[in-house]
Amino acid sequence: MRTAVYPGSFDPVTNGHLDIIERSSRVFDKVIVGVLNNADKSPLFTIDERVEMLRGVTAHIDNVEVDSFTGLLVDFAKMKNASVIVKGLRAVKDFEYEFQMALLNKALNPEYETMFMMTDSKYSYISSSMVKELAGFHGDLTGLVPAEIIHKITQKYKID
Ligand code: PNS
């Protein structure tokens, strides 16, 4: 049984993330989406909200599981009996950082392979930060994030 971990902040999950999850679920027996609970960052969504949104938008995929983690990714992968780390690559600008992370994770634990999946070109310009910036200006999020979470994002920017 080949299990992969797909880690990230997912603040919030985008259609680009969902595309990587769907495609990797066809390559691996099981995909565990690991949502980083990072105390240093101040995310828009709490860890519970991010996990819940991801569970909702991946409910149609049988072999996908969503869980949060703190600490090192390689420790989370070990705990989940995963042997592969899946990352999405959008453009050259992602490469340097991802290359460094992959090498560092390999140095931390050589048992794990990082595998990169190229984004679908129609999602190559989407990022969680762009989604948040656009939402802050009350822009249209259609097509950028799963339809069922649009109201959750716009709600965060509502002025009472
Ligand atoms: O969506 P992001 O914010 O680009 O995801 C980054 C993530 C969660 C993949 C990365 O920050 C991570 O793996 N963090 C866990 C801590 C870790 O293992 N760091 C590498 C060694 S210091």
pLDDT tens, residue by residue, 66-95 = 999 999 999 999 999 999 999 999 988 889
Find out whether the beta carbon of 16 lies less than 6 Å from any atom of ligand 1: no
Question: 71-96 burial, b if ≥16 CB within 10 A, otherwise e?
Answer: eebbebbeebebbbbbbbbbeeebee
Residue 50: what pLDDT? 97
CA atoms of 25 and 103, how far apart (whole Å): 24
CA distances from 23 to 4, 33, 41, 97, 147 (A): 12, 13, 29, 22, 19
Confidence of residue 159 (pLDDT cuts 50, 70, 90): low
- Residue 116 in this model has a pLDDT that exceeds 90: yes
Tell how far the Cα of 40 is from the centroid of ligand 1, in angstroms: 12
Nearest CA to ligand 1 atom 9: 8
Q: At 158, is the pLDDT very low, low, confident or very high (cuts 50, 70, 90)?
A: confident
CA 38–ligand 1 middle distance (angstroms): 9
Ligand 1 pocket residue status of 73, Cβ below 6 Å: yes
Cβ contacts of 130 within 8 Å, gap of 6 or more: 144
* Per-residue model confidence (pLDDT) at position 92: 82
Residue bearing the bigger pLDDT, 41 or 156 = 156
pLDDT, the chain, mean: 95
Q: Rounded to two decimals, what is the model's pTM?
A: 0.96
